[in-house]
Amino acid sequence: MNRDILALIQENMHTFSKGQKRIASFILESYDKAAFMTASKLGKKVNVSESTVVRFAAELGYDGYPDMQRSLQKMIRNRLTSVQRIEVTNDRLGDQDLLSMVLQSDIEKIRLTLEELDRDSFEKAVDAIVSARKLYIIGVRSCAAMATFMSFYFNLIFDNVVKVSATTASEVFESLLRVGEGDVVIGVSFPRYSSRTVQAMNFARSRGATTIAITDSEVSPLSPISTYTLKARSDMASFVDSLVAPLSLINALLVAVSRKKNDDLANTFEDLEKIWEEYGVYEKVQE
């Protein structure tokens, strides 16, 4: 179900029972908190039973409470301000062991990404990258680090890589000035989604380039404008975006591409090792 859950609740408010109206009112007023409550906790908050909360989700057309909760979480992730993110995270953490919770959450995001990733899209994206006339990579704000990471390694594999400069809007389009058919543009964006990345991908698509999105879900604005969408789970850890699973997906993409270019890559690294040795790029560690 892709409809905005808040609009759905408002449309159906007149059909709800007294207890369901209390649930609906709380969600409408405090959706940022409700999205991360269990059915039991939400029921206690508005003084109804857990079963009433579960029936409320079914009444809205969801396959149980977890399905409704996921819909709420997807809806809010691009709406929350940094201050709201901190408040939500503080509510979620409570007195729990912060280190264990964050690391366990990251492990879970990688597991879910592996389960849910479209393997066919992944393989087609790899083939498109290998055969690209020119490869453009864009990611801004918190996603800039992943774009830089990809660019660094793809530059070792190919001689046709452009990391799109995105300091200003004009720089984005100047970097993409000659993009066209035969080119591949990889856009990386997670909530809160960067409008600059979306604009760049739209521009590349209008010029006939193959577009590959690395993002979190089908509701991402990158998804409908991309030839291939590679989805990785992310989450909020306070005002910080947890990007462990997306980076793991990028690692897999780099390895898959390098396997396709195995012979060329071996020759490239033979030359690089000589250069690194000659110019002392790496420290020699005494054993």
Q: What is the per-residue pLDDT across 206-265, written as a single tens digit (0 to 9) for each?
A: 999 999 999 988 778 999 999 999 999 886 544 457 789 999 999 999 999 988 877 777
Q: Find out whether 39 and 65 touch, Cβ atoms under 8 Å.
A: yes
**Full DSSP string of 59-97:** HTT-SSHHHHHHHHHHHHHTT--HHHHHHHHHHHHTTS-
pLDDT in tens, 5-55: 888 888 888 899 999 999 999 988 887 778 878 899 999 999 999 999 999
Q: Which residue has the tokens 């040795």?
A: 277
pLDDT grade for 96, boundaries at 50, 70 and 90: low
Give SS3 for 220.
Answer: coil
| Full set of structural domains in the chain with CATH | 5-77 (1.10.10.10), 110-278 (3.40.50.10490)
Give SS3 for 42.
Answer: helix
Q: Where are the alpha helices (DSSP H) in the chain?
A: 5-12, 18-29, 31-34, 39-46, 50-59, 65-77, 82-93, 98-116, 119-130, 144-157, 169-175, 195-206, 244-260, 262-278
Q: Find out whether 200 and 162 touch, Cβ atoms under 8 Å.
A: no
Closest CA to 210 of 265, 270, 131, 150: 131
**What's residue 91's pLDDT?**
59
Give yes or no for residue 1 having a pLDDT over 50: no
The neighbouring-strand residues paired with 213 are: 187, 229
**What's residue 23's pLDDT?**
93
Q: Which of 93-97, 201-205, 235-239 has the weakest average pLDDT? A: 235-239
The neighbouring-strand residues paired with 229 are: 213
pTM for the model: 0.70
Burial 231-244 (b: 16+ CB within 10 A, else e): bbbbbbbbeebbbb
Closest CA to 250 of 149, 157, 155: 149
User: Both tokens of residue 268?
Assistant: 């490239």
If you average pLDDT over residues 105-118, what whole number do you get?
A: 89
pLDDT in tens, 64-94: 999 898 888 777 665 665 555 556 566 555 5
